[in-house]
Amino acid sequence: MAKNDLVMPVLKWVGGKRQLLPTLIPMLPKNTNNYCEPFLGGGAMLFYLQPRKAFINDINENLILVYEVIRDDVENLIDALAQYKNDAETFYAVRDLDRDKKKYAALSEVERAARIIYLNKTCFNGLYRVNNAGEFNTPFGSYKNPNIVNAPVLKAVSRYLNVADVTITSLDYAEVLNSISKKTFVYLDPPYDPISETANFTGYVKGGFNRDEQIRLRNCCNDLNERKIKFMLSNSATDFIREIYANYNITTVKAKRAVNSVASKRGDVEEVVIRNYG
């Protein structure tokens, strides 16, 4: 299956790996038959590699719904996106749909997927964030001309998801990892360990991802290693992460920080890439 350059992320996602791909790609193992990504997010690695067989997952059900609708009903999705206006009144009306549970439940899958893409394209900094009630709460971004309807990319991603053997789920990551075979390569891009108390952007699902979860994930990686399944994991370069993965191959890389609301505080930040192979 030939790679299509139009197959690329359709959403801006905190921690997205598009800018780091030139660094990460040379670190990938050779000769892997299957691909698994339990924390899919924007899917930059998946869409770059375009593997013939893949298992993709994210606990964020709204995000997974977007990929399922792109796969199954992309033309109606494009039509729905074309109805939206880039103004604050429209944005807050669409954003607040999930405050009325009955009204939100009445939306079709296409309408809910279009809502997520629209909010992602027009909200401040593309930050998907929910409050304790699970309601989207990022403010309007006031961008002059966001690309709300990127039809060529949506159609290309839809074709890839249909032509390749791609299993899409919204499960706990451990359940996904327990089900894969030995010949599968796993790329793990979980919510990062925060580098400070004010740097925690894990609110993309209700409940977050604390250090107990980081340790549970490390234990899953230990299990993958015992099963001789190759994995690569990205995370922040905190002492905690370095300590719990001390038995593995750790490489420090530089990434751009683009989430901070203060422009002067955006810039290079260290991350680690952790592997159980050379």
The pLDDT tens digits for 69-78 are: 999 999 999 9
Torsion sign, CA atoms 157, 161, 164, 169: positive
How far apart, in Å, are the Cα atoms of 262 and each of 139, 158, 200, 256, 267? 15, 36, 15, 14, 11
Residue 161 has a pLDDT of 98
Residue 257 has a pLDDT of 64
pLDDT: which is higher, 23 or 134: 23
Please give the Cα distance from 35 to 56 (Å, whole number). Answer: 8
- In the chain, the amino acid numbered 67 is Y
Helix, strand, or coil (residue 35): strand
Residue 202 has a pLDDT of 43
- The arithmetic mean of pLDDT across residues 133-149, rounded, is 93
Element spanning 220, H or E: helix 211-226
Residue 110 has a pLDDT of 98
Residue 133 has a pLDDT of 86
Residue 167 has pLDDT above 60, yes or no: yes
Residue owning tokens 């039809």:
151
Facing residues of 254 across strands? 270
Helix, strand, or coil (residue 197): coil
Q: What is the pLDDT of residues 33-71, one digit of tens each?
A: 799 999 999 999 999 999 999 999 999 999 999 999 999
Q: What is the pLDDT of residues 185-228, one digit of tens each?
A: 999 999 999 987 655 444 545 556 899 999 999 999 999 999 99
Name the percent of the chain lying above pLDDT 90. Answer: 79
- The arithmetic mean of pLDDT across residues 104-121, rounded, is 97
How far apart, in Å, are the Cα atoms of 246 and each of 26, 64, 169, 273, 275? 22, 33, 31, 12, 11
DSSP string, 66-105: HHHHHHH-HHHHHHHHTT---SHHHHHHHHGGGGSHHHHH
Task: Tokens for 95, please give them.
Answer: 């954003």
Q: What global pTM score does this model have? A: 0.91
Please give the Cα distance from 58 to 39 (Å, whole number). Answer: 5
DSSP classification of residue 10: S
Residue 130 has pLDDT above 70, yes or no: yes
Contact 249, 225 (CB under 8 A): no
Q: What is the pLDDT of residues 8-21, one digit of tens each?
A: 999 988 878 989 99
Residue 207 has a pLDDT of 57
Nearest to 248 by CA among 278, 275, 218: 275
